[in-house]
Amino acid sequence: MAEALKTDALVKRYGRRRVVDGVSLSVREGEIYGFLGPNGSGKTTTIRMVLGLIAPTEGSVELLGRDIADWGPRSREGVGGFVETPTFYPYLSGEMNLRTYADLSGGASRAEVHEAVALVGLEGREGDLVRTYSFGMRQRLGIAAALLPRPRFLILDEPSLGLDPHGMKEIRDVMLRLHREKGLTILFSTHLLAEVQLVCTRVGILQLGKLLYEGPLEGLLKAERTFRVRTDRAERAREVLSAHPAVRAVGVEDGFLTFEADPEAVPVVNRALVEAGVRVYELGPGAKSLEDVFLEMTSHGEKVL
């Protein structure tokens, strides 16, 4: 599958500090890619390098197959987006702002501008000065601006930042619509895990400038080796698990016995429990959410895959 974005060993250094440290991302065309990381992990710096706002110290970036070092500004043709919060000329109307930004990318027809306005639900307000817009309206106008004229790839930096749950849902719905109806590839950065679980097909996790994980969301959760089991004889089960060579770190959590093991070893462990006379009522993956995984990964800063 063609890649909308490919970075190779991207580095940004300020003095001796490596803000982005050898990040190699791969965003495939047609997917919604969640770029995850806690505040200060280097997400925005990476996006700035991708969009040509800052120069990489090392490494390369390809946007829609075009190397930004070779193509210069033209590498951003077909790419829309915003970095941090979307910004506008407050003394211009919403529509005039959209036309101004669209003109920088080759121009958009009146119908296209109105379609973008309608898509983000700002009909009736496009003639008002942007200085009268609420924060949420500006975010939505930012997406409308990124849609002009006809991008194939959207890069949105923290599109839900500062929005209330209602506004966050609206932005999510807009992204899903754009992906579904227009087939856009979308990369969006966030530190909100719930958003990622609801929207993304693949994720990249950044911590302290390093890419800890890149791949499908399920892969990230599958990568976990924690399982939990409910039995009729907890003490006996604990003895069996503790003695089993494939099992590590037996514990208790929320009334369940928990243990770590390779996923392939779980049927063997189950048989061992049954053969030891323990009735197994429930055996499955640990209750770790994406949040648990994320916190665990980013607090250790280790590469898990």
Partner 1 sequence: MVFRLFRIEVRKIVRRRDLYVSVALVAIFVAAFFYGFARQNWDAWFRGHKGAVYRALEQYSRIVLHRPFNLSEYTNGIYFTGMAVGFSFHLLIPIVASLIGGILVAGEAKDGTLRAVLIRPVSRSQLLLAKFGVAIVYLVLVMAFYVGSCLALGVPTFGWNHILAFNNAFMQVGEGRGAFFVMEPSEAIRRLGLVCALGGYAMLVVASLALFLSTLFDSPIVPIVGAVGLYFISLILGTEAEGFFEEIRKYLFTSHMFFWRNLFAKEIPWGDVGRDLLWCTGYTAGFLLLALVAFRVRDVKS
- Sign, Cα dihedral of 91, 92, 94, 99: negative
Tell me the closest approach of the beta carbon of residue 262 to partner 1, in angstroms. 45
Tell me the closest approach of the beta carbon of residue 125 to partner 1, in angstroms. 18
Tell me the closest approach of the beta carbon of residue 36 to partner 1, in angstroms. 21
Tell me the closest approach of the beta carbon of residue 101 to partner 1, in angstroms. 7
Cis status, amide bond into 159, omega within 30 of 0 = no
How far is it, in rounded angstroms, from Cα 11 to Cα 6?
A: 14
Q: Which is nearer to partner 1, 93 or 190 (CB)?
A: 93
Q: Which is nearer to partner 1, 52 or 286 (CB)?
A: 52
Q: Which is nearer to partner 1, 90 or 267 (CB)?
A: 90
* Amino acid letter, residue 203: V
Tell me the closest approach of the beta carbon of residue 237 to partner 1, in angstroms. 56
φ/ψ of 188, rounded to 5, equals -135, 140
Binding site for partner 1 (CB under 8 A): 48, 51-55, 72-77, 79, 81-92, 96, 100-101, 103-106, 145
Q: Which is nearer to partner 1, 53 or 249 (CB)?
A: 53
* Nearest C-alpha neighbor of 266 from the set 292, 239, 248: 248
Q: Which is nearer to partner 1, 74 or 300 (CB)?
A: 74
Residue 175 burial class via C-beta count within 10 angstroms: exposed 0-12, middle 13-18, buried 19 and up:
buried
Q: Give 98-152 as a DSSP string.
A: HHHHHHHTT---HHHHHHHHHHTT-TTTTTSBGGG--HHHHHHHHHHHHTTT--S
